[in-house]
Amino acid sequence: MRARLDELVASRVAEGAAVPALTCYDFTTALAVVAAAETYGRGVTLLVTPKTAAAADGARFTRALRGLADSASVPVVVQLDHATDLDLILATVDAGADAVLADGSKLSFDDNAAFVAHVRDLTHNRGIVIEAELGSIEGDEDRAFAVAAASAGKTNPELVAPYVLLSGAHLLATSVGNVHGKYVGTPELDWPLIDSIRTQSRVPLALHGASGLSDADLRRAISAGLGKININTELRGAILDALTEQLPVSRSNGDDVLAFDARWRDAAYEFALGALGRLSPPADAGTPPESTRAESTPL
């Protein structure tokens, strides 16, 4: 079912939980993520990267995700992630995206806020939720290079309130020691900074680059008000590890594509189910609610 991302995040924060936002480069992964969300009985966000959206079949892929989300029994949001191109943003919204991260983080403060405000003005009458980024999150979204967090790019808490006001953003992505890709050494999130940002923001907060964070860090992040948690690198790794094992088996068994596809779905499903558990309140983390477990359909 369709949902507003900001409202979904706010409701999960009130429950002491967060909404997982998982990057889907293909429909097989998206099917598995939604199946896991339905098993768990909780909402989820399907992230589309700009490279995927800008591909020849990008609009068709987004429309497919839109249909999948609409037919789901739980709230599912389709979001274009880290978009800087206005034409691509509008085309992806036309194709069915519910939300957009209008990324002006490489711009000056004023230009960043103006870009986000422009995107919101152009999409406001369509109910599109706009996420924005203040500060700069290092790394590559699509490739898992090792990245060290850059302190110079962290979110300035003194700018949060004026930025949210000027930009009109519905959610705010934070740079607090998190990176896209793999962390160099042990991740060290800036907890005092997170607390300062939370006191200054009147919109829900997002944490990108959650791959590699410990369960303790994720739980602390949720307690600190980070209600949308983006995960990409770990999901890609889980899928590729499973397919690396499955490929020789499928090739030796008559080029069994169905088994290869099933292994793909299983890997994505199990990862997404685990992510939902890790981002749920401690009381029900780890296992799906009793009311939905019996209704789940194994992939």
Q: What angle do CA 194, 197, 202 make, to 5 degrees?
A: 130
| Sequence letter at residue 114 | A
Contact 81, 51 (CB under 8 A): no
> 139 pairs with which residues across the strands?
180
Question: Is 140 designated active site?
Answer: no
Q: How far apart, in Å, are the Cα atoms of 121 and each of 90, 104, 126?
A: 12, 15, 10
Contact 43, 12 (CB under 8 A): yes
* Residues 155-161: contacts with CB under 8 Å, at least 24 apart: 155/193, 155/197, 157/193, 157/196, 157/197, 157/199, 157/200, 158/200, 159/109, 159/134, 160/134, 160/197, 160/200, 160/201, 161/200, 161/201, 161/202
Q: Is 59 exposed, middle or buried (0-12, 13-18, 19+ CB in 10 A)?
A: middle
The catalytic residue among 6, 70, 81, 217 is 81
| Sequence letter at residue 217 | D
Contact 229, 210 (CB under 8 A): yes
| Sequence letter at residue 88 | L
Contact 263, 28 (CB under 8 A): no
Contact 149, 188 (CB under 8 A): yes
Catalytically annotated residues: 81
